Amino acid sequence: QVQLVESGGGLVQAGDSLRLSCAASGTVFNIGTGFWYRQARGTQRALVASITESGTTNYADSMKGRCTISRDNAKNMVYLQMDNLKPEDTAVYYCNMDVRVRRAGLFYSYWGQGTQVTVSS
């Protein structure tokens, strides 16, 4: 059983920063690619950033230049540092990871429960 738990969301003002964390726990051998998505009310879930096992990153245009995704393989964690937040960044942010539960096993995709980020103007 694998669980992903996000933390770090909250209510901030425009221009502030937040750092989201996502921890994979349970029967985790290692994590592969990690992703952060967000879903604003009434919209579809959209990719914010991704990071491969080797550290290659990719960012959506919506937050490019204002966020940094990183990871700690030893702790099975992925982070999202968000700077200069805007009211339009208000959304539930979800962590998604490819997780391998045993050596030489397949990667399976898991989702966290989401963490709310609200940016006031």
Distances (CA, A) of 39 to 28, 67, 84, 100: 27, 16, 19, 26
Residue 23, amino acid: A
pLDDT at residue 64 in the model:
87
Per-residue pLDDT of the chain (121 residues; tens, 9 = 90+): 999 999 999 999 999 999 999 999 999 999 999 999 999 999 999 999 999 999 999 999 988 899 999 999 999 999 999 999 999 999 999 999 999 998 888 999 999 999 999 999 9
What value, to the nearest 5°, has the Cα angle with vertex 54 and ends 48 and 58? 20
State the pLDDT at residue 105: 85
